[in-house]
Chains A and B, each alone.
Chain A
Amino acid sequence: MLAAGRAGRSVLLVAATGAGKTLAGFLPTLVDLLEPYEGLHTLYISPLKALAVDVQRNLLTPIEEMGLPIRVETRTGDTPADRKARQRANPPHILLTTPESLSLLLTHPDSAQLFAGLKTVVVDEIHAFATQKRGDLLALGLSRLEALAPGLRRVGLSATVADPDSYRAWLAPHGDMDAVDLVTGDPGAEPDIAIMLPDDDRIPWSGHSGRWATHHVMRQIERHRTSLVFCNTRGLCELMFQDLWTVNDNGLPIGIHHGSLSVEARRKVEQAMADGKLRALVCTSSLDLGIDWGDVDLVMQMGAPKGSSRLLQRIGRANHRLDEPSEAILVPGNRFEYLEARAALDAVEEGALDPDIFRPGALDVLAQHVMAVACAGPFDEAELLAEIAAAAPYAGLSAELFGNILSFIESGGYALRAYDKFKRLRRNADGKWQVTNPRFIQQHRENAGIIVEAPALNVRFRNGRKLGTVEEYFASTLSVGDTFHFAGLTLEVERIDTPELIVKATTRPARIPTYVGLRMAMTTHLADRVRHFLAEPETWRRFPDDVREWLEVQQRRSLLPQPDQLLVETFPHEGRHYLVLYSFEGWNAHQSLGMLITRRMESAGLKPLGFVSNDYALAVYGLEEIADPAALLSPDILEEEFVDWVQGSNLLKRAFREVAIIGGLVERQQLGKRKSGRQVTFSTDLIYDVLRRYEPDHLLLRAAWEDARARLTDVARLGGLVERAASTLVHAKLDRVSPLAVPSLVLIGRESVPAGLADDDLLIEAESLARIAMAE
């Protein structure tokens, strides 16, 4: 690191958690700053505010011990306005910030002076966001910094990744990976990973959370100093927390942490953790990144791990000393999850990681960045295009598309030039673009940002204490007096005062909140490994008896597909005809496919009744036998029905809402801003409908569509599956349910969405239920 620093070279440092990466990233800066220096020398960018604050703490200690005259400050959304103003006038030597705060800094006219002497940018946890929209924003920010401070050194810090070269290219100007040296850290001791099995070795047929293991998990918590218990969803996290407390006979301090909890609640539990006051923390991916807590000595993963890279990073949360192995336990919820856990464990042992998918930069993010640049002062169109194209995600951006972006920012970019008198940008006498009114600058600063929350209600006590948020959909299922588990508490609804849900504590039985939206899908890498297990009986020796037996009976009664085959089973069961498709493409893709197939069954007169899916398989059922499954999967399903379905689906409406906010078309609806009786707001769903009807080629619709396609890789996986189906489908026609089908059919807590039930039918059903319930 020091050599690269002395040579002024940019560098990507890839090392395991706990290897002291962050400090290594700062070393050349500290050496430089032994000499007196005026102004901002190093900018550190982290995906998390909390991490920036933590790094400041960790950096200050060596600086103070060495008595260095170095000023280090943080700048995030939480920094008070007066300090922010002072930082611009009198910058510290090292500024710690986030991609969003950097983007906001760049909106100020004095940012050119502020960054003119900048020597180094350090990007931490680069693996966590380079491939996402926040990565796009940062890539654009780096290009801007390069223009303000040419020759700037870039330092990327990353956890172990499958393909470091793609990160080098991402970090480098013009995607030139040779401009970035690669430094690889000591891999450290091999982790010690086990798969937890029930006492009788019998893994349950069904379930997906590992709830069977509550007692075992409790025993592990008792045996260790501090444990992290990772759950795959916020709902499961609440459930596991409740379960653990019912068997927590010693009253050990166990906390809960997930992304829907209020900031206050999260900070409190993080502090308790840092102080060593907790024995266990039940958490979600909200803890995948973040502060190092030295005392964690066990990581448990409830349910399937979903990916080897993620698993490795989670395991890295334990034991931040390189010379000792991290200890981890995987808790599979059912037999398929056992196979997945086994596959993940093998992958970690082999050091095989999930490849990261880099996609072209998002257009909504680009629009936000261009507006940020415009806020700082007039710009030349060609110069800015060249600067943007130097950011790897936007390499090859055409002048035409850039022109569309400008026209979008200027007045919405519509074919109907209705808003020429309301323009936000115009060319000045020098031919440069500039903002027409200072209030648009203010508006941009208030609305900029990449994270768009789902519509949600604030959950709080009557005394004002905020607990967090629940999604609108879940809230709409609640009435006054209903009870639910949240933030580790059992709550009763006292009042629903949109957008607030006023609650009080209760001891009555309660439900677990549901969170709509996408679930984390198993990576294709793990899916491939599981497919290989099925096809290779010689690998089964390592499996527990009942898993092996399960596969052996399947082999006798039905088929086990080769890795490149798509197994489809059909069989009658309890008066219905089933079709089960083992595609291993993840729950999201299976849900979409279920919708499409049942729709096709409807038109083919097969009388579908519903479907149910998990990460591994999709089962559809109806009243008629499905003699020809291939016909239901013909590739034209993607051309017509699929496009139709996606465009009409909430999927694309959600994506549209996000791009409309990020792109700056509409302002964020501030949660807590009260809706009055008369509507002064508008819904992005309605905007979507109008736009689709009158200008289907609009930039934002294109952005929403690209988002849905690129980010929801499951949709692409679905496409691949259907394309392969014609040549790879093997049909096993059975007289009864097969062993492999059981885990999919006995899913608990999954609602099967009945086919053929359009919104009208749901309303009719609701009305008739209401009538029956209300009948005298």
Chain B
Amino acid sequence: MVRFSFCGHDLIALPQGALFWPARRALLVADLHLEKASWFARGGQMLPPYDSIATLADLTALAASVGPAEIWCLGDSFHDTGGCERLPERACELLAALTHAHRWTWITGNHDPVVAAIVGGEAVAEAELDGLILRHEADPGDPRPELSGHFHPKLRIHRRGRLVSRRCFVMSETKLILPAFGALTGGLEAHHPEILRAVGPGAEALVPLSDRLLRFPVAA
């Protein structure tokens, strides 16, 4: 795991698509989109009803390996407002264990403006942690250093006849966008104009591997 510096803070981008903040022992994840499959099932597309279980099992494993004191979810944790009530039993258990074992905060996003009390944790629209603003969607007008989600950035590289597509972080001088953590969440290419507009000039895509952090310049 390689540390990188963002606005004076040492951070670690994890290959699983999450951010670890050693100074606070904080684990940050964005865009879990829990119960995305059942949202589509309501409309007749019966996607496998295992996405929440998969996402929370991955998060449980990640928490077990990095040992955070606090976990922050940067919004769109549920795919829609009613997602919370559709959680299968196994997913509820996983989530309850997670919110019980850590200080847990839901930053609310555009998909889940209200996070129901039944799953535990505390819900806030925004937070400021040691000078970093945590919110769901980057605010280009805010000059303060900021961590956010929302865009699901991914990087697509074609080499030697193969197309490699990977979730990635996008970082500029004062903005850091996390990849989506949810099992069924697709992605938007890192150089998409909407992402560039959100982070401003000089953006890089960060791709963590197990032993190093790759950096790719992104431009329109």
Contact = CB atoms under 8 A, between A and B. Distances in A.
Does B associate with A? yes
Interface of A: 408, 411-414, 416, 418-419, 422, 424, 439-440, 443, 473, 476-477, 665-667, 677-679, 681-683, 686-687, 689-691, 693-695, 698, 751, 753-754, 757, 759-760, 762-767, 770, 774
A770 B188 contact: no
A101 B89 CA distance: 44
A753 B186 contact: no
Contacts of A412: 41, 46-49
18 contacts: A414-B48, A418-B86, A419-B46, A665-B45, A667-B45, A677-B151, A679-B152, A679-B186, A686-B185, A687-B184, A691-B48, A694-B50, A694-B54, A695-B48, A759-B162, A764-B212, A764-B214, A770-B217
Interface in B35-78: 36-38, 40-42, 44-51, 53-54
Contacts of A765: 159
Contacts of A764: 209, 212, 214
Interface in B141-186: 150-152, 155-164, 166, 183-186
Contact of B184 (A677, A686, A753): A686
A651 to B, nearest CB: 13
Contact of A751 (B53, B160, B166, B212): B160
A766 B159 contact: yes
Contacts of A690: 37, 48, 50-51, 54, 183-184
Contacts of B150: 678
The 10 closest A-B pairs by CB, nearest first: A412-B46, A418-B49, A694-B50, A677-B194, A751-B161, A767-B214, A762-B159, A759-B164, A691-B48, A679-B186
A753 B188 contact: no
Nearest to A478: B158
Given A418-B88, A477-B158, A762-B159, A411 B46 contact: yes
Given A424-B44, A682-B47, A695-B48, A763 B157 contact: yes
Contacts of A754: 160
Contacts of B46: 408, 411-414, 419, 422, 424, 665
B4 interface: no
B214 A693 contact: no
DSSP majority for the B interface?
mixed
B41 A757 contact: no
Nearest to B51: A690
A763 B215 contact: no
A224 B18 CA distance: 67
A422 B188 contact: no
A22 to B, nearest CB: 40
A681 B180 CA distance: 14
B183 to A, nearest CB: 5
B54 A693 contact: yes
A770 B158 CA distance: 13
A753 B40 contact: no
A764 B208 CA distance: 11
A753 B164 CA distance: 14
Contacts of B209: 760, 763-764
B44 A439 contact: yes
A666 B50 contact: no
Contact of A766 (B48, B152, B216): B216
Contact of A666 (B47, B86, B207): B47
B24 interface: no
B22 interface: no
Given A414-B48, A683-B186, A694-B53, A473 B158 contact: yes
Contacts of A774: 217
B192 interface: yes
Contacts of A687: 47-48, 184
B184 A763 contact: no
B187 interface: yes
Contacts of A414: 46, 48-50
